[in-house]
Structure formats: structure tokens, C-alpha cells
Amino acid sequence: MKGLRSRQSVLRVLDLCAAPGGKTTDLAASLREACGDGFTLVANEVMKARVGVLDDNVARWGDPNVVVTSVDPAAFARLEGWFDIIVADVPCSGEGMFRKDPRARAEWSPELVELCAARQRRILADVWPALRQGGFLLYSTCTYEQAENDDNLAWAARELGGEILPPAAEFEDSGVRRTAHGHLLEAGVVPGEGQWAGVLRKTASQRVAAKADLSLLHPLRQGLRKGERKGKDFLPDPDYALSMEFDRKDYPEVAVDHPTALRYLHRDALVLPQAAPGYNVITYLGHPLGFVKNIGSRCNNLLPKGRRILMNV
């Protein structure tokens, strides 16, 4: 990580196909452990139907260094040479999902493999300008097809300008198999579903945009949001209570038991005699869950509608 940050104080990472967000939050945890506050992680999801789930999961994670965008990979070309690492877990023919997803089995065909391989090359070519010279592309799929895996990484090295990092043998004891240019995780051999991953270091020269700015991508989420003023009132942002930078002196807290916590997450109105007038933060086992507004006879639940749990509680 230190070598990657030699030209700047902040490590810049792009999770290109990020929904639903498990990869993003894992990356955020690893980056914070390695870099402290010295990183920016951009989590992008081009599919509008999926980006809301990504945004919610990033909000729940609470790391203000994670930025959420929803743009086509080609849009990142405007940030020339800006990223040190790009993680591209690209759409694929889905063979690694056959065990758990009957639809993936039903939709598979040789033509789909061909279509996916071409789409993957387009995605890599579109985002490549955003990676700095010497930066790393982590390329992965959830298929076993050579055309979508080794062949595409070799294509990127040859056509875009990169050096493939040879797969390591150290993972073989856990069932991970080396292929020509990467690592294959086969469902039934390793825990979980199927996946392939390889790494490419960019050797092609790359101009760095002097005034590159994430605002070009119109982020859906960027930085810490405490709230907004409306008239004489300051309305807290629902995500502020979940942020790791939440100042617990800003609002009174109400500790609740397990049934009440579930009712809050179900977005029920609550009666909390111990709550102070106005905005309060609900906590469970010391962890903030979100805001309520005590209006006297009850507390209005300010959990965003899209995040409420649907189970009956």
C-alpha cells in the first residue's frame, strides 16, 4: 500500500461494478486497516435498479471515505490516471452461480459467453484510462469460461498495455486452482460459489489529469452528511447516526431492548417516555440505529422507508 501511495497521500480505489455492496464494505474495512484515513474508495454501479441497494449498504457501513456513483465505465475516462487500484468484478455468463441460481443455468448458452466476453473487453477498455501507470487492475468474474477469464486478461495486457501478475501457489492448499493467468475458485471445492480472479499491472503511460474531481461523476454519496437546515430547524441526515464520524454528543440517546430495536427497524412509531423532546438517537447494545423525533405523545420514526425490515415483529 505504501508504494502505491508514493505520489500522493491518499490511496484511490475504484470498485467498478459494486452492487450490492459486500465487496465494497470489505474493501473499505481493508483499506481503513491498511491506510487509516488515507484512502478514497469509489463504489460504482451503473444499473439504476441496483445502485439503491449499494447506497443503503454503504450508508449502513458508515465510512465517509466511500463515495457512491452510478455512471457508465466510460465516464471514468475523464479521471485520467486518477486511480491506483481498479476492482472490476464484471458481468459474466454466471457458471459459478449454477449451484444456487436455477435462472443462471437456464440462461446460459455459448452465445451468452461470447456476448459477455465482448462486453467485458469493452468495460476494461472504457475504464483503463482512469488507472494510473503502475496501478493495478483486479479483474474477476463468477464464471469458469476461459474466454471471459484468462483470455480477456491476456487481451487487456496485450491491447491496453499491462503486465499480468502470475498466480500464486500459496492458495492451493485451500482448494484454489491456478489457471494460466489467475485463480479459479470452484463451487463444491471451496466454500461459497464459483469465481475467477487475476491481476494486471498497468505499464502503458498515462497522463494524470491535473484538475480531476469526483464531482464530474455526480456522486450519490460523498463525505459526511450531518443534515440540512429548513427554516429554523436543523434536520439530521438519517445516515449521520450510522457514520463512524458521528459525534455522540450531538444528540441525546435512547437505549432500547431487542424487541424495541426490531420495531424501530420495522419503522414503527415508538412511545419512549425516557426520550428528550426533539431528535434522539436510538441505540441497541451501544450501537446507534438511527433517529426518532419525540413529539410528546409518540416518537416519529426517521428510518428511511427503503431500509425497513419487512418481517413481522
**Rounded distance, CA 284 to CA 290, Å?**
10
Handedness of CA 82, 85, 91, 92 (dihedral sign): positive
* Cell numbers placing 222: 460523498
How far, in Å, CA of 187 to CA of 98, rounded?
A: 9
Q: Is 299 a catalytic residue?
A: no
Helix (H) or strand (E) holding 265: helix 258-265
Q: Is 27 exposed, middle or buried (0-12, 13-18, 19+ CB in 10 A)?
A: buried
From residue 309, alpha-carbon distances to 46, 162, 246, 312 in Å are 25, 45, 23, 8
Catalytic residue (choose from 35, 92, 116, 142)? 142
Please give the positions annotated as active site.
Answer: 142
